[in-house]
């Protein structure tokens, strides 16, 4: 039962990380279209949050995958 909870939690962490990466890309492109500095705003903080969360999520999914 505990492995299943950890597996679901790792999937949630993975999707939060990929969501941050997607949001970072959207912010980057909209700032570039609006002729503002593209790397300003919340692009870098979302990127710095999304990359580690995605990597940790992939690692945790690998660890807690329910092999049967």
pLDDT one-digit tens code per residue, 18-31: 999 999 999 999 99
CB 39 within 8 A of CB 47: no
Q: What is the pLDDT of residue 59?
A: 96
pLDDT at 68: 63
Q: How far apart are CA 43 and CA 56, in angstroms?
A: 20
Produce one character per residue of 23-40: b if its CB has 16 or more CB atoms within 10 Å, e if not.
Answer: bbeebbeebeeeeeeeee
Q: What range does the domain containing 43 cover?
A: 2-64
Number of domains into which the chain is organized: 1
Q: Counting beta carbons within 10 angstroms of the beta carbon of residue 19, is it exposed (0 to 12), middle (13 to 18) or buried (19 or more)? A: middle
- Give the pLDDT of residue 39: 86
The DSSP symbol for 36 reads: S
């Amino acid at each position: 039962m505990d492995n299943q909870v950890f597996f679901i939690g790792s999937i949630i962490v993975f999707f939060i990380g990929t969501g941050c990466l997607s949001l970072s890309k959207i912010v980057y492109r909209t700032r570039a279209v609006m002729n503002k500095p593209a790397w300003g705003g919340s692009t870098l903080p979302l990127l710095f949050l999304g990359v580690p969360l995605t990597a940790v999520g992939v690692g945790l999914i690998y660890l807690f995958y329910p092999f049967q």
